[in-house]
């Protein structure tokens, strides 16, 4: 931390990209709530520049061509309090609202949450449960990849030097959903385990389920088995169906023991969160135990 660190604010994506290729230890900064803490903790010994991307990364929520595009620079409070997002993508809205505190949510961006790639990043399971695409930009142009292919390990993504996340694309439709997490406290606590559930309903009356889990593996994961179990049964779900889905969610969870929680607890609670989400959406009776 002794060498002098510089601050740079590019005006265009191109300018940023060439800066990143000239400076291998320059890092993007958006809300700063992850990277400044990491740096203050001594976690970025080689850091040369903070490259402020807030000017060049979109932060609006726009609807076009049947898609909704959420700018990477969108702050958590803006996302959580947006009536369209709350009405159509409730899992994402409540995930954003669950982040940190009111102050943190005014700074923290969704792009930073995803780029940081923590297995406990709260908007990540919500984006997975919405089949979101990540829109990436660099000097060569933009490209899209499914969010499921974006993460390669804890803190690791497919982002290459000079790539920035520009936003997230989801289908413009109405979903039902929920996001639940367990932490040590209600606010400013990193998730021990989290679950996002979204339901896409077709006109023919069938429902497609998406279930994603945070903090139970090296990246956020989806549980396709539980999705199928629920999708092929009809609500309200019987105890057998519920149990089968809970077991599927527990089986796919390969959590670790760490300072925040224990393996067995996380695994067990992954199932419990699924049950709670289904109860909240009135898809099982709340009398199930």
Contacting positions for ligand FAD (CB under 6 A) = 27-35, 37, 53, 57, 72, 98-100, 104, 107-109, 111-113, 115-116, 121-122, 159, 164-165, 188, 190
Residue 12 is a binding residue for another protein (CB under 8 A): no
Shortest spacing between CB 25 and ligand FAD, in angstroms:
12
Cβ proximity to ligand FAD: between 220 and 242 the closer is 220
Cβ proximity to another protein: between 36 and 61 the closer is 36
Shortest spacing between CB 29 and ligand FAD, in angstroms:
4
Interface mask toward another protein for 56-85; x: CB under 8 A: ---------------------x--------
Q: How many residues does the chain have?
A: 289
- How far apart are alpha carbons 173 and 189 in whole angstroms? 31
Cβ proximity to ligand FAD: between 187 and 234 the closer is 187
Partner whose binding site includes residue 115, from another protein, ligand FAD, none (CB under 5 to 8 Å by kind): ligand FAD
Tell me 157's DSSP state: E
Residue 175 phi/psi, 5° resolution?
Answer: -120, 160
SS3 label, residue 80: helix
Residue 8: C-alpha distances to residues 160, 230, 255 (Å): 19, 50, 39
Contacts with 2 (C-beta within 8 Å, 6 or more apart), sequence order: none
**Nearest CA among 98, 57, 103 for reference residue 80:** 98
Interface pick for another protein out of 18, 23, 106, 139 (rule CB under 8 A):
106
């Amino acid at each position: 931390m002794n060498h002098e660190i510089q601050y740079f604010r590019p005006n265009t994506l191109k300018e940023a990209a060439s800066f990143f290729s000239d400076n291998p230890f320059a890092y993007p900064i958006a809300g700063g709530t992850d990277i400044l803490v990491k740096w203050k903790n001594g976690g970025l010994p080689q850091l040369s520049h903070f490259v402020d991307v807030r000017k060049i990364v979109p932060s609006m929520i726009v609807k076009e061509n049947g898609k909704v595009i959420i700018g990477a620079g969108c702050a958590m409070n803006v996302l959580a309090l947006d009536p369209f997002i709350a009405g159509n993508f409730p899992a994402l809205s409540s995930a954003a609202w669950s982040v940190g505190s009111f102050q943190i949510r005014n700074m923290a961006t969704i792009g930073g949450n995803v780029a940081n790639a923590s297995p406990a990043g709260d908007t990540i399971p919500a984006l997975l449960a919405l089949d979101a695409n990540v829109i990436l930009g660099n000097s060569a142009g933009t490209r899209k990849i499914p969010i499921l292919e974006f993460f390669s390990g804890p803190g690791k993504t497919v982002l290459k030097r000079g790539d920035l996340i520009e936003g997230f694309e989801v289908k413009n439709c109405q979903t039902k959903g929920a996001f639940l997490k367990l932490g040590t406290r209600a606010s400013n606590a990193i998730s021990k385990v989290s679950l996002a559930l979204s339901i896409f309903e077709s006109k023919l009356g069938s429902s497609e389920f998406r279930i994603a889990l945070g903090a139970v593996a090296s990246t956020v994961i989806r549980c396709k088995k539980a999705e199928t179990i629920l999708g092929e049964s009809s609500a309200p779900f019987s105890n057998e169906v519920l149990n089968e889905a809970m077991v599927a969610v527990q089986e796919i969870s390969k959590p670790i023991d760490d300072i925040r929680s224990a393996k067995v607890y996380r695994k067990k609670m992954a199932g419990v969160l699924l049950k709670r989400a289904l109860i909240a959406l009135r898809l099982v009776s709340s009398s199930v135990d």
